Amino acid sequence: MSWISVKQAAKAAPGTTVTLKGWVRTRRDSKADGGLSFIALHDGTCFDTIQIVAKGDIANYADVAKLTTHCAIEATGKVVQNPKGGNEVLVDGAGAGDGACIKIVGLVDDPDKYPIQPKPHSFEFLRELAHLRVRTNTFGAVARVRHSLSMAMHRFFDERGFFYVHTPIVTGSDCEGAGNMFRVSTLDFANMPRVKPEGAKTAAPDAPIDYAPDFFGKETHLTVSGQLNVETYCCALSKVYTFGPTFRAENSNTSRHLAEFWMIEPEIAFANLQDDAKLAEDFIKYLIQTMLNDRADDMKFFDERIEKGLLVRLKEVLDKPFRHLPYTDGIKILKEAIASGKAKFEYPIEWGKDLQSEHERYLTEQHFKQPVVLMNYPKQIKAFYMRENDPGTDGAPGPTVAAMDVLVPQVGEIIGGSQREERLDKLDARINEMGLPIKEYWWYRDLRRYGTVPHAGFGLGFERAMMFLTGMQNVRDVIPFPRAPKQCEF
């Protein structure tokens, strides 16, 4: 007899004796046939459980008949066909000679208080039990999809000759510019060192904090993006990506934001914005196709129970080419939509302003009904490192940069990227214009001094991709242990 997974057992040849190890999901009993217990067993290897049929003539039947949800057992028995189709495992007295038995490995104390019951639970409730929620159908499926999705991302890049770069988590420069950062320090919060005036022995209590004695000898933070670091490797290895945790200390209380999340950021050399958009499209389609192939059982569950029509939505994204649209034309479409009464928006449309999510969703869901790549945004609303376009690009009334956002139905913005400014004079002008500390960017600027090349990249929030692919509505339900304002349990 051999130990096999529930996944393997579903396909095992009838007649073989096997051992399964896992947890009870439900137990039902019958008095027929001298006593029978039907145990739905799961071990996480696939979505479905397998049914163990324990007959009343086994030695410890009285104990087996008391098993409750999530008791751990080892069951050895014969693979047989269920009268209604599919495999099940029969454990009976007749098989004792072949070792048929049910070993009780771990019981559940106080089963009436065990919080994960074989019944629907709200996600809000399960969020408070992040250590137990993975035992449910939904969170087991999320965990498997999350694994497969990260493997698929690595495979996509590996197959195309990209190198995986481990960019740092702790960052010494405050030049990344994306929102509030978490501080990293070994200083004593109760007794912070202060900068002393020259020659003085003591500092004023309200003097600036002295970071010289801190661990790194300077102010440090958790990274908000690996992009600037990964650009350095791009300018030597040509095609690279980074995939790691990212931290934002924003006080964002929404279903789409986390304080700690995972981000994937490819960067390609000798490439422009069109190349970048092509990469993004290929990437998203590859991920969809791979999840449909590799996680068919879990995806079917999401389609049936989490978002009706999920599979149709994903297949539509797969089938249609992404629609490329200049920002400037997007503004025209939105203004026409208002003028003709086709759409009403809370926020006004104006060239030079960032689009609100209601605008993005109108374009991708109502107007085009397909994924849209919006390109060439006004310079004034975008980051310093984005490449400035030639004046008059797309007939824009003002200066634009080579930025792109990929918008998809149901989710909105899923990818943000750009071609990077490779010209040192233009980059410096932009840094100064935005009042950024140019000294801090010395190494980033070096890339433009020593063999600079056009290059481009994008960022994809891993959890946003999870939501897009599973139909899960809250970002806190697609990461094992969510970290958000006032939430760092487990």
Partner RNA sequence: UCCCCGAUAGCUCAAUGGUAGAGCGAGCGGCUGUUAACCGCUAGGUUCUAGGUUCGAGUCCUAGUCGGGGAGCCA
CA 243 to chain centre: 11
CB atoms inside a 10 Å sphere around CB 131: 11
Task: Name residues contacting RNA, limited to 139-178 (CB under 7 A).
Answer: 178
- Tell me, residue by residue from 284 to 303, as one string, x for binding to RNA by CB under 7 A and - for no binding: --------------------
- Looking at 252, 289, 393, 452, which residue binds RNA (CB under 7 A)? 252
CA 139 – CA 131 distance, rounded (Å): 11
Alpha-carbon distances of 250 from 36, 257, 315, 393, 435, rounded to whole Å: 56, 9, 35, 35, 22
Span from 290-298, 315-323, 324-332, 454-462 in contact with RNA (CB under 7 A): 454-462
E strand or H helix at 430: helix 424-433
Residue 347 or 442: the one with the smaller Cβ distance to RNA is: 347
Smallest distance, Å, CB 33 to RNA? Answer: 6
DSSP string of 324-374, one letter each residue: EEEHHHHHHHHHHHHHTTS---SS---TTSPPPHHHHHIIIIIIS-S-EEE
* Site residues (CB under 7 A) for RNA, limited to 59-118: 66, 68-69, 80, 82-84, 88, 90, 111-113, 115, 117-118
**Binding range to RNA, per CB under 7 A, among 133-141, 248-256, 268-276, 304-312:** 248-256
Of positions 10, 41, 42, 51, contacts RNA by CB under 7 A: 51
Q: Which is nearer to RNA, 337 or 355 (CB)?
A: 355
Q: Compare residues 225 and 328 and give the one whose CB is closer to RNA.
A: 225
CA dist 213 and 128 (Å) reads 39
CB of 211 to RNA, least distance (A): 25
> In this complex, which beta carbon is closest to RNA, that of residue 123 or of residue 211?
123
Q: Helix H segments across 36-136?
A: 61-64, 123-127
Q: Considering beta carbons, is residue 178 or 187 the nearer one to RNA? A: 178
CB atoms under 10 Å from CB of 19, counted, come to 18
Closer to RNA by Cβ: residue 214 or 413: 413
* CA–CA separation, 220 and 280 (whole Å): 32
* Residue ranges in 348-377 that form contacts with RNA under rule CB under 7 A: 354, 356-358
CB of 180 to RNA, least distance (A): 8
Q: What interhelical angle do 227-237 and 442-449 show, nearest 10? A: 30
Q: Shortest Cβ distance from residue 324 to RNA (Å)? A: 19
Please identify, among the stretches 162-170, 314-322, 414-422, 428-436, the one whose residues bind RNA according to the rule CB under 7 A.
414-422
The residues pairing with 29 across neighbouring beta strands, listed in sequence order, are 37
Positions 225 through 244 that interact with RNA (CB under 7 A): 225
Q: Look up residue 268 and give its two tokens.
A: 């390609």
Among 2, 60, 253, 366, binds RNA (CB under 7 A): 253
254: contact with RNA by CB under 7 A:
yes
What is the CB neighbour count within 10 angstroms for residue 29? Answer: 15
Instruction: In angstroms, give the least distance from the CB of 128 to RNA.
Output: 7
Q: Which stretch binds RNA (CB under 7 A): 186-194, 292-300, 304-312, 469-477?
A: 469-477
Residues 286 and 155: their CA atoms lie apart, in Å, by 10
- CA-CA distances (angstroms) from residue 47 to 19, 69, 133, 333, 414? 19, 17, 15, 44, 27
Q: Quick one: tokens of 350?
A: 């104006």
- Site for RNA contains 402 (CB under 7 A): no
Q: Which residue lies nearer to RNA by CB, 69 or 214? A: 69
| Distance in Å, CB of 484 to RNA, minimum | 7
Q: How far is the CB of 204 from RNA (least distance, A)?
A: 29
Which stretch of DSSP H or E encloses residue 155? helix 137-159
Site string for RNA, 11-50 (x = CB under 7 A): ---------------x-xxxxxx--x-x-x----------
Binding mask 259-278 for RNA (x = CB under 7 A): x-x-x---------------
Binding mask 115-144 for RNA (x = CB under 7 A): x-xxx-xx-xx-x-----------------
Query: Exposure string (b/e) for 158-186, b if CB count within 10 Å is 16 or more?
Result: eeeebbebebeeebebebbeeeebeebee
Q: Which is nearer to RNA, 265 or 298 (CB)?
A: 265
Q: Which of residues 324-353 bind RNA (CB under 7 A)?
A: 347
Q: Least distance from C-beta 186 to RNA, angstroms?
A: 26
Look at phi and psi of residue 372 and say left if phi exceeds 0, alpha if psi is from -120 to 50, else beta. Answer: beta
Cβ burial, residue 396 (10 Å; 0-12/13-18/19+): buried
Contact between 394 and RNA by CB under 7 A: the answer reads no
Q: What is the dihedral of CA 126, 414, 313, 160, to 10 degrees?
A: -110
Backbone angles phi, psi at 24, to 5 degrees: -75, 130
Question: Site residues for RNA, window 176-215 (CB under 7 A)?
Answer: 178-179
Between residues 299 and 414, which has the closer beta carbon with respect to RNA? 414
E strand or H helix that includes residue 75: strand 72-81
